[in-house]
């Protein structure tokens, strides 16, 4: 089942084309991350999906509806939640009053107190919005996005301003929403957030779809050579390492003797290495095995566009800001 279908989506601002016929789909009940550097076209694409901006070409369906159709607009709004970068709310209303007001715009909203509990604001229900911290206001933004019990939730940089503990709490909220059947479209610049949450990913650069897949396969991560890192034991040199030359390239930092070997078969290489260390009675300090990170894969995919300014679409819009519905 498909929640979002985008086929050949194009958008122009004057003579400048900012979306060059992009295609992607979002399955129902998954967390989908739309990634890209600033100016890549993410905001434009999302505003088209949300019904705030008209497209100039291509087909778009959101929950089976056309977000560009005036006749579908009301039905779509009742099924979609938005958590944008800034949501203006009345500063002198309490948290509960703010949530209750927004809940009244929907046919079958979530329970207001349950939503406050869900986002960690249960103890702040009677506090005025103006008295909330930055992180608490961002939690309120998330609460406003889910109080209408949406089938599809758009999350734009949802954990900006959160401390590490609050980020992990918010991630669990997002997972719980996904597990309850809500489809989520996420944008973020935090690759650890993508790794923690996303079921599938698409990367935009210069208004073009660079690659799509899962966090594990993006940029060929699943087939890339693994890195085995460890501290070279005292009294040994890299020449003594048992890793075959054809399978590994090793280099050591003179400062801390940290060695990194890149191997195509990490299980076999690690077995050989640890057997060698045990035989010598040596300890391999700080031993780790890892594939290239998601951030490295993302940077590799987008670097060519960042290094060639003439190919990049100029940033045409700033941060989005909306007011609570009234």
Residues 249 and 164 in one domain: no
273 contacts 243 by C-beta, under 8 angstroms: yes
Instruction: Output the domain CATH number for residue 189.
Output: 3.40.50.300
Token pair, residue 52, equals 């705030």
Domain assignment present for residue 301? The answer is yes
Domain assignment present for residue 71? The answer is yes
Domain assignment present for residue 90? The answer is no
DSSP secondary structure letters along 53-94: S--SEEEEEETTB-TT-HHHHHHHHTTEEEE-SEEE--TTSB
25 phi and psi angles, rounded to 5 deg: -130, 155
Give 277's contacts (C-beta < 8 A, 6+ positions apart): 233, 283, 284
Token pair, residue 199, equals 């079921």
Residues 172 and 209 in one domain: yes
Residues 185 and 302 in one domain: yes
Residues 312 and 276 in one domain: no
In the numeric block, the tokens 């290094």 are attached to 307
Residues 199 and 253 in one domain: no
Residues 190 and 68 in one domain: yes
209 contacts 203 by C-beta, under 8 angstroms: yes
131 contacts 60 by C-beta, under 8 angstroms: no
**Is residue 233 packed enough to be buried (19+ CB in 10 Å), middle (13-18) or exposed (0-12)?**
middle
Domain assignment present for residue 195? The answer is yes
pLDDT digits (tens, 9 = 90+) for 144-199: 999 999 999 999 988 887 889 889 989 999 999 999 999 999 999 999 999 999 99
Residues 251 and 215 in one domain: no
Domain assignment present for residue 116? The answer is no
Token pair, residue 95, equals 């948290």
Residues 308 and 275 in one domain: no
pLDDT in tens, the chain (326 residues): 899 999 999 999 999 999 999 999 999 999 999 999 999 999 999 999 999 999 999 999 999 999 999 999 999 999 999 998 777 789 999 999 999 999 999 999 999 999 999 999 999 999 999 999 988 998 999 999 999 999 999 999 888 878 898 899 899 999 999 999 999 999 999 999 999 999 999 999 999 999 999 999 998 888 888 889 999 898 888 889 898 644 566 666 666 788 888 898 899 999 999 999 999 999 999 999 988 899 999 999 998 766 554 444 333 333 343 334 43
* Statement: the pTM of the whole predicted model exceeds 0.75: yes
201 contacts 216 by C-beta, under 8 angstroms: no
Residues 7 and 74 in one domain: yes
Domain assignment present for residue 110? The answer is no
Domain assignment present for residue 159? The answer is yes
Residues 209 and 303 in one domain: yes
Residues 8 and 72 in one domain: yes
Domain assignment present for residue 307? The answer is yes
* Structural domain range at position 245: 225-290
What is the Cα–Cα distance from 34 to 22, expressed in whole angstroms?
A: 12
**What is the number of domains present in the chain?**
2
Residues 285 and 302 in one domain: no
- Indicate the SS3 state at residue 207: coil
């Amino acid at each position: 089942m498909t929640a979002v279908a985008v086929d050949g989506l194009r958008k122009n601002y004057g003579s400048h084309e900012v979306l060059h016929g992009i295609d992607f789909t979002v399955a129902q009940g998954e967390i989908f991350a739309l990634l890209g550097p600033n100016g890549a076209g993410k905001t434009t694409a999302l505003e088209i999906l949300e019904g705030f901006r008209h497209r100039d070409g291509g087909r778009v369906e959101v929950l089976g509806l056309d977000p560009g159709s005036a006749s579908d607009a009301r039905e779509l709004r009742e099924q979609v939640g938005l958590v944008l970068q800034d949501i203006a709310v009345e500063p002198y209303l309490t948290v509960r009053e703010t949530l209750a007001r927004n809940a009244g715009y929907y046919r079958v909203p979530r329970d207001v107190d349950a939503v406050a509990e869900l986002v960690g604001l249960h103890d702040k229900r009677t506090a005025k919005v103006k008295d909330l911290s930055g992180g608490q206001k961002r939690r309120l933004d998330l609460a406003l996005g889910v109080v209408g019990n949406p089938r599809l939730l758009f999350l734009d940089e949802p954990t900006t301003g959160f401390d590490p503990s609050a980020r992990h709490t918010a991630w669990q909220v997002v997972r719980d929403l996904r597990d309850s059947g809500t489809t989520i479209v996420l944008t973020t610049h935090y690759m650890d957030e993508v790794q923690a949450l996303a079921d599938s990913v698409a990367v935009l650069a210069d208004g073009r779809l660079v690659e799509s897949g899962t966090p594990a396969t993006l940029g060929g991560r699943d087939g890339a050579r693994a890195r085995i890192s460890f501290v070279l034991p005292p009294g040994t040199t890299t020449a003594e390492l048992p890793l075959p030359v054809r399978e590994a390239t090793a280099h050591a930092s003179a400062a801390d003797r940290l060695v990194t070997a890149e191997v195509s078969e990490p299980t076999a290489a690690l077995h050989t290495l640890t057997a060698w260390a045990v035989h010598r009675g040596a300890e391999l300090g700080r031993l780790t095995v890892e594939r290239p990170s998601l951030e490295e894969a993302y940077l590799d995919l987008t670097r060519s566009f960042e290094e060639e300014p003439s190919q990049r679409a100029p940033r045409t819009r700033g941060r989005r800001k909306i007011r609570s519905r009234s």
